[in-house]
Amino acid sequence: MGCHTWFWAPLPKEYIPKLKDIALQSLEDRWKEDQDDEFRKKIGIEACINEEEYNFLKYQIKSNNLVVISDYANTEINDFITIIDGDPYYDLSLGCIEIGKETLMPPHHYFHDVFRVYNYPNWIIYNIRQLRRKLGKKWYDIPEEDRKRVSEFWKLYPGGVITFG
């Protein structure tokens, strides 16, 4: 069958403050749980972070460290963002992402597993030309309808990327 094909769109900059808020709340919740000895004993875990780490992570989030923001925001919203070459992207295989009554992500088209490849390549594909070069003759094994869908992805999401896994 082959590995999954993930389609990622550039995350609009205006969504970063929302993610920071989510990340800070997630960090705060984790810190509160770590301070509750009774809770930790009840579920049998050690403290995840100490006060120095907590303050450092809080500073990193407030300083727009996208890796830390994505780590803590993703614990709340199911790994929908990733950082590729220092830039944030969001997963187009998910539907509308909402926190409470607020829509977190812009409306988007669904893209996932449009085609499959084997051997889990560690490729980050930035455009259709690069994809065709990587796939070589296997590009023509992909049904025409699916090749059109891949072209549509880059028309709708210039700057988008495809990964595999």
Mean pLDDT of 84-92: 88
Task: Report pLDDT for 3.
Answer: 82
| Portion of the chain with pLDDT greater than 70, in percent | 83
Q: Residue 104 — very low, low, confident or very high, per pLDDT cuts 50/70/90?
A: low
Structural domain of residue 150, as residue ranges?
5-164
Task: Give the chain's mean pLDDT.
Answer: 83
Report the Cα 57 to chain-centroid distance in Å: 19
Q: Residue 40 — very low, low, confident or very high, per pLDDT cuts 50/70/90?
A: low
- Burial code of 80-100, b = ≥16 C-beta within 10 A, e = fewer? bbbbeeeebbbbbeeeebeee
Token reading at 108: 């988007």
Asked whether residue 96 carries a pLDDT value surpassing 90, the answer given is no
Asked whether residue 153 carries a pLDDT value surpassing 60, the answer given is yes
Looking from the CA of 79 toward its CB, the CA atoms found within 13 Å total 2
Amino acid, res. 106? P
pTM of this structure: 0.77
Which spans in 44-80 are helix H? 51-62, 66-77
Task: List, for residues 1-36, the tens digit of each pLDDT value.
Answer: 578 899 999 988 888 888 888 888 888 888 887 777
- Among the listed ranges 77-86, 128-137, 145-154, which one has the minimum average pLDDT value? 77-86
> DSSP assignment, residue 63?
T
**Total number of domains constituting the chain:** 1
> DSSP assignment, residue 139?
G
Q: Residue 124 — very low, low, confident or very high, per pLDDT cuts 50/70/90?
A: very high
Phi, psi (deg, nearest 5) at residue 28: -60, -45
Does an H or E element contain 8, and which?
A: strand 5-10
